[in-house]
Structure 1
Amino acid sequence: MDCDIKIANVSNFYGRPVYYINKPIPLMGHIAFGLIDRGTNIIQVRPITTCFHNCIFCSVDSGPNSKFRISEYMVNEEWLFEWIKNIASIKNNDIEVLIDGVGEPIMHPKIIKLISLIKKIPNVYSIAIETHGGSLSLPLAKKLNQAGLNRINLSIDSYNQEKARFLTGVEWYNSTKILKVAAEILKETNIDVILTPVVIPEENEEEIKYLIEWAKENKAGSKINYPTGVLIQKFEIHHFGRKPKKIKVWSWQRFYSWLKYLEKEYDYKLLVKPEELGFKKSIKIEEPFHVNDKIKIKIIGIGWLKNEYLGVDENCMRVISVISNEKINGLNIKAKIIRDKDNIFVAKI
C-alpha cells in the first residue's frame, strides 16, 4: 500500500490513550476528528476529542467517565490548516470555520496557533469555536481575539450553580464565573458570544429563561449581527450518548411551541432559520467511496469506540472507522463500506 503510515501515542487521558494525528493521515472521513463538510459554507473542524466535563446528557459520551470510548485523538494544527485551506479553496466562497468536536476544543494545546493559521485563509470570513466554558477566561479570550476568533458558542445550560454542576457532572464547574467572563469578553474584545444551552425537560427550563435575559442585557450576538444571542438546543437520545434516568424527550412540536412561548414572553427572537445564521449551500466535497463498495484498507490504530479500528484507504484519501470483533491492528484488509454520508465512512469486514 502507498499509504504506509502510523499514528503516534503521545499521552493518556483517564486511562485512555491519546493518539496524535499528523501528516500524511487524511483529515476527512472520521466523525471524531479532522474536517466535516455537509454541503454548506460551514466547515466543521475537530482538533481534539478529549473533554474535562461529564455532562449527564452528552450525546457523544465525552469526558473522564466515558463508557464507550477506548481512545482519544489530537490533530496537528499545521496539518489541520493545510486541509482547511484546501477544502476552503474548493468551495471558493465565503467560508465560516466552526471549531467544534466530540469533546472540548479549547483543550487543544495549540488552539491559539490553529486559529491564527486559519485567519490567513483568504475566503474564511468567520472563525467560531464551541465550548462549555469550564476553562474560559478573559486572558485566554484576549489571546483568541488577537489570533482572529470571531465568535464563541457558549454551551452553558444553567445559571444556577448547583444545577449547572449537576448537568456538567463535575463539582468544579462555576456557571456564575463563566457568565461573568462571557460578559467581560463582550465588553473588552471583538469576539461575540452566543449562548447555546440544551433544554433538559424538567431539569433546566427555568434556568434557560435567565440565560435569555442575560443575552438581552449583554447584547449577545450584536457584534456579528446575529438575529439572536441564544440558540436553544433540543435534547436528543443518541446511540452512544448518555440518557439520564427519568428525563423525557420532547417532540419537535413541543420544543418549537415552547420556543414560541418564550419568544412572546421575553420579546426576543429564538426561532431562527439557518440562512439567518449565515448558512448557505456550497460545493460538496466528492465522496470517493459509497455504501457497499469493497475497498482495501490499512489498519493504522485502534478506533475511537469499542470494537472499532482506525483505517486508511490504499490511496490515502480518507480515514475509515472499521468495525471488527477480532484484532486487526496493523493488517491490510478488505472491507465493505456501510456508511458514507458527509464523507464520514464506516466499514465492516
Structure 2
Amino acid sequence: MHRRVIWIGKDVELPLIGCVAFGIIDRGTNLLQIRPASGCNLSCPFCSVDEGPLSKTRITQYFVETDYLLEYAREIARRKKCSELEMHIDGCGEPTLHPEIVEIVQALSEIEKVSVISMQTNGTLLDERRIEELSEAGLTRFNLTINALDDELARKLAGTDRYELSRVLDAARTISESSSDLLIAPVWMKGVNDSEIPKIIEFARDIGAGKRFPALGIQNYLIHRAGRKMKGVKQMSWKEFYGRLKELETKFEMKLILSPKDFGIYRCDEAFPRNFRKFEKVSVRILAPGWMRGEMLGVAGDRTVTVVDAEGLQIGERVKVRIIGNKHNIYLARAL
C-alpha cells in the first residue's frame, strides 16, 4: 500500500503529546515512551497495530524531526517529579527506521535525570557498526524481538520471506558482547511457537543476555481490535500463560515472570495535565491525515487529537468534535 510520509516538525508542527503513533507518551511512571517514527519493515501476522508493508488500514507514516522531539523530551523530563527516568524508544512499528536514531539516543542520554535508555527493535536493521554506534551513544538496553529459532517459522511470523533470522541472531550476540544490555522479547502464540520458547530461553542464557536487567521478557499474544489476528490462534489465558512461565522458570532456573520493579519502574505523576475530559466538546483545527484510514489529525490547544470517522474533513478546516478517549493524554474524538 502506498503511504504518505509526514515529517512532524517540518511538514507540519503537530504537538508531540496526544497521538499514539508518534511523540512522547507519559503513562504516569518514571518511564517515558519516545516514539520517533511509525511504520515497520515487517508485516508480522499477529501485529497489534496492523503495521508494515502488508497493512490494510495504515495509510500514513510519521517521522519526528530530531530537534523537535528532543525539545519535548527535555521539557517533559524537567517537569517529571522523579529523580531517575527511563527513556524507552519504541513505536507503532520499528524505531530504527528513523535515520537519526543514533543522534536521538545520544541527546537523550545527556538529559538530566535520565538514567536508562532502552529501545524496542526487531533487529533486522542492526549490524555490528550500528550496534556499536547505539551502544556508544548511551543505549542502556536493546529489547530485541525474536519469536522463533526455526528459520521457516521465523519468516512466517515476520510476515516476509526476506526476514533473515541469522542476521538477527548475530545482532543478539553482538549486543551481548557490547556495553549495552540485551533483553530478548518473544511473543508466545499458543499452538504456534510453543516449542520455540524453551529454545529462545536457552539461546538468551548461552549468549549472556541480561547482564543488568532480565534476559527475557516473554509476552503473551493478545488480540487487539485494530490489529492483525492469526487465523485459528486463540489468546492464552493469563492463568495458563503465567502457569507455563512458572514451569519454565523452574526448568531453567531463570526469572521469567516480571514486574515493573524488575526494571526500576515506579509511579510518578504525569508531567502534563489532561486538557480535555471525556465527552467534552472541543474545537479542533485539522492539520494532517491520520495514521489509519478514515482518520485526520488536528490540534486543540497544545495537544494533537485524532479525529475518527473523518471522511470529508479537509486540511485547514476547523471542526467541533467530542472527545471519546483521553487516557494518558492520548486523544480520540469524533466530529459533531
Q: Following TM superposition, by how much is the alpha carbon of 1:250 offset from its aligned partner in structure 2, in angstroms?
A: 0.8
| 1:138 equivalent in alignment to 2:124 | no
Alignment match, 1:10: none
- Separation in 1, partners of 2:310, 2:72: 32
Alignment match, 2:47: 58
- Separation in 1, partners of 2:223, 2:234: 10
- Separation in 1, partners of 2:143, 2:195: 21
Alignment match, 2:102: 112
Alignment gaps of 5+ in structure 2: none
Tell me if structure 2 keeps the 8 A contact 1:321–1:347: yes
Q: Following TM superposition, by how much is the alpha carbon of 1:325 offset from its aligned partner in structure 2, in angstroms?
A: 4.3
- Separation in 1, partners of 2:4, 2:114: 33
- Separation in 1, partners of 2:255, 2:109: 30
Task: Decide which moves more: 20-29 or 59-68.
Answer: 20-29
TM-score by length of 1: 0.92
Alignment match, 2:328: 342
| Residue pairs, 1:254-293, within 5 angstroms | 254-284=240-270, 285-293=272-280
What value does the CA root-mean-square deviation take over the aligned residues?
1.1
Alignment match, 2:228: 242
Give the counterpart letter for 1:237 in structure 2.
I
- Separation in 2, partners of 1:161, 1:87: 42
- Separation in 2, partners of 1:258, 1:98: 28
Give the counterpart letter for 2:323 in structure 1.
I
| Residue pairs, 1:96-175, within 5 angstroms | 96-175=86-165
Q: Following TM superposition, by how much is the alpha carbon of 1:247 offset from its aligned partner in structure 2, in angstroms?
A: 0.7
Alignment match, 1:182: 172
The alignment partner of 1:205 has SS state of: coil
Compared CA separation, residues 27 and 325, structure 1 to 2 (3 A): closer
Q: Which stretches of structure 1, 4 residues or longer, exceed 4 Å deviation after superposition? A: none
Task: Give CA deviations for 1:79-129 in whole Å, capped at 9, x if unaligned.
Answer: 111111111111142100000011100000111111111111011101111
Q: Following TM superposition, by how much is the alpha carbon of 1:193 offset from its aligned partner in structure 2, in angstroms?
A: 0.8
Tell me if structure 2 keeps the 8 A contact 1:21–1:73: yes
Alignment match, 2:307: 322
Alignment match, 2:15: 26
Give the counterpart letter for 1:339 in structure 2.
G
The alignment partner of 1:348 has SS state of: strand
| 1:294 equivalent in alignment to 2:281 | yes
Give the counterpart letter for 2:85 in structure 1.
I
The alignment partner of 1:153 has SS state of: strand
Question: Given the alignment, which residue of 180, 188, 193 partners 1:191?
Answer: 180
- Separation in 2, partners of 1:181, 1:36: 28
- Separation in 1, partners of 2:234, 2:319: 43
| 1:72 equivalent in alignment to 2:68 | no
The alignment partner of 2:321 has SS state of: strand
Q: Following TM superposition, by how much is the alpha carbon of 1:153 offset from its aligned partner in structure 2, in angstroms?
A: 0.2
The alignment partner of 2:67 has SS state of: helix
How many residues align? The count is 330
TM-score by length of 2: 0.96
The alignment partner of 2:293 has SS state of: coil
| 1:308 equivalent in alignment to 2:295 | yes
Tell me if structure 1 keeps the 8 A contact 2:306–2:331: yes
- Separation in 2, partners of 1:177, 1:325: 42
Tell me if structure 1 keeps the 8 A contact 2:70–2:107: yes
Tell me if structure 2 keeps the 8 A contact 1:160–1:176: no
Alignment match, 1:230: 216
Q: Following TM superposition, by how much is the alpha carbon of 1:334 offset from its aligned partner in structure 2, in angstroms?
A: 1.1
- Separation in 1, partners of 2:80, 2:160: 41
Alignment match, 1:9: none
Compared CA separation, residues 246 and 324, structure 1 to 2 (3 A): closer
Question: Given the alignment, which residue of 27, 32, 40 partners 1:43?
Answer: 32
Task: Decide which moves more: 229-238 or 177-186.
Answer: 177-186
- Separation in 1, partners of 2:91, 2:185: 14
Give the counterpart letter for 2:295 in structure 1.
E
Alignment match, 1:6: none
Alignment gaps of 5+ in structure 1: 1-13
Alignment match, 1:84: 73
